[in-house]
Amino acid sequence: MATIEYESNFFAEKPRSFRVSFHDFIRNDPDTITHKFENMQPRYNEARGCYTLNFYGRVHKASARNFQLVESAEEGMETEEMGDCEMPLLTHGKISKHEFNLDYRAPFQILCAFAVSLTAIGKKRVVG
């Protein structure tokens, strides 16, 4: 099982941010988190006037629903110590008007990757 937490961003003044946590249901311990991921923050591109991520040619359309997930840094861990953590483990991006591309690798499995993808393309709902 996984928990997906989106930060509120009602006025869209910054790129949206979210976290994914995998829980250990194999050992029947749902309180234990085995993996934590967060979306890679896009960088502002002055020339284009928007936020961008490098999808290595796999994404062709700009969209607020494009994202890449990387493993979360442990508290106190420096970027140099993280090693391969900045390499995306899951990428989700728009390739045409009604199509998105989803790439993933371990520790993601198809069901978890697809569930994260569905939350990204779902309609926004305001909960009071």
The enclosing domain of 91 has a CATH number of 3.20.90.10
Whether the upstream peptide bond of residue 42 has omega within 30° of 0, thus cis, is no
User: Which tens digits make up the pLDDT trace of 73-92?
Assistant: 764 444 444 444 478 999 98
pLDDT value of position 81:
44
| Contact (Cβ atoms closer than 8 angstroms) between residue 72 and residue 19 | yes
DSSP state of 96: E
| Contact (Cβ atoms closer than 8 angstroms) between residue 82 and residue 73 | yes
pLDDT value of position 103:
92
Query: How many whole angstroms separate alpha carbon 44 and alpha carbon 100?
Result: 22
Query: How many whole angstroms separate alpha carbon 52 and alpha carbon 62?
Result: 8
Give the residue numbers spanning the domain of 91. Answer: 2-121
> Residue 89: inside a domain, yes or no?
yes
> Residue 126: inside a domain, yes or no?
no
pLDDT value of position 79:
45
> Residue 21: inside a domain, yes or no?
yes
Q: Please give the tally of structural domains in the chain.
A: 1
User: Which tens digits make up the pLDDT trace of 23-78?
Assistant: 776 676 667 777 888 888 888 888 888 778 888 888 888 787 888 998 887 644 44
> Residue 97: inside a domain, yes or no?
yes
Average pLDDT of the residues in 86-109: 88
> Residue 128: inside a domain, yes or no?
no
